[in-house]
Amino acid sequence: MRKKDFLPAFAFSRKKEVRMYYHEINLRTTGTAMMKAYILDEEITHRRHIKRPLMVICPGGGYLTLAHRESEPVVARFLGAGYNVVLVDYSVYFKQRPNPGEPGVVNQGFRIADAVQDLVQALNIIQENSDAWFIETSRIYLLGFSAGAHLVGTVAENYRDPEWQKRFRVQFTQLTLQGLILAYPMLTATEVNVKERDAFRDLMAREDILQLDLTQNVSAHMPRTFIWQGNEDQTVNPLTTTQFILKLQQAGVPCEYHLYEKGGHGVALADRTSATTPDYIVPNLAQWVTAVQVWLAQDDGELTLYPDLRE
């Protein structure tokens, strides 16, 4: 899979006045997967600029669809915290999601490895643009929700393996995957209880279930990891998550775990910004956003301003 369409925002044409850069970049020639880069203006004050850490976000959706709630509201929250953000709309099972009365259109050839390829491709493109986008390449974070957590976890576990690098055409060797953030993560293909059961079963029938088990492939090379979940989660099993943390601890991976007694799945920020119904405003779960910012801040170095080398 090669990088195809680079669609610059019209913004590039008048660089001096532009603030945020917004780029949509296809990850596949078919246009069925794309990444969206939200880049804050690097010029933080007159003629001086900074580089920013990057948050790469993969929403959930069971690998069947992409959850809105875990997409843009989360992008906005991290932009507001001073991160540049890339949102990865990776390949999924449904080309067109089902609606009442309509069965949906399935991407017949879809395999989870396609999604993995998409994330790798996104990271390759990020590396290519890291100067233009003023990214602190030593601070790339992967944040995934549910199946999106499975996706970022897959890359975090394997990206250093030479075989795997070859298979997925990894080029992003100059990026440091500094941290991994998993929100109510889908860590295995079993013990998952998604709404569209038949579709999920159909998808899993094509996959190698054992290969999908992230709990079996933890290694000391993984980035520091932050995991959170509600212990009343009915969609993915919180016991599996605790077992996963245990493996990280055993492997010596620096990790942080917030298992909240109450609350379930799919809440994204758990406050009004991402809520579709009042059910999705869960104050005790919303604590995760503050906790992750404290955890991320441990990587804050000194504020560095770069002299203006641009025209």
Smallest separation, CB 121 to its own copies (Å): 17
Cα–Cα distances (Å) from 25 to 22, 35, 125, 174, 180, in that order, read: 10, 5, 9, 20, 23
Least Å from the CB of residue 166 to its own copies: 31
Q: How far is the CB of 158 from its own copies (least distance, A)?
A: 22
- 159/187 Cα distance (integer angstroms): 17
Written as six digits, the tokens of 129 are 């643009």
Our CB check for its own copies shows the closer of 66 and 170 to be 66
Indicate the residue among 47 and 166 with the shorter CB distance to its own copies: 47
Q: What are the strands of the beta sheet with 306-307, ordered from one edge?
A: 43-45, 48-49, 306-307
Answer whether 239's CB lies under 8 Å from 187's CB. Answer: no
Alpha-carbon span 218 to 156, nearest angstrom: 9
Phi, psi of 254 (to 5 degrees): -60, 130
Give the C-alpha separation, 121 to 131, whole Å: 17
CA 255 and chain centroid, separation: 18
By C-beta, is 28 or 170 nearer to its own copies? 28
d(CA 296, CA 254): 13
Q: How far is the CB of 40 from its own copies (least distance, A)?
A: 6
Nearest residue (CB) to its own copies, 45 versus 108: 45
Q: At its nearest, how many Å lie between its own copies and the CB of residue 75?
A: 7
Could you give the CA distance from residue 282 to residue 165 in angstroms, rounded to a whole number?
40
Closest CB 45 distance from its own copies, rounded Å = 5
Of the pair 174, 304, the CB lying nearest its own copies is at 304
Task: Give 51 or 77: the residue with its C-beta nearer to its own copies.
Answer: 77
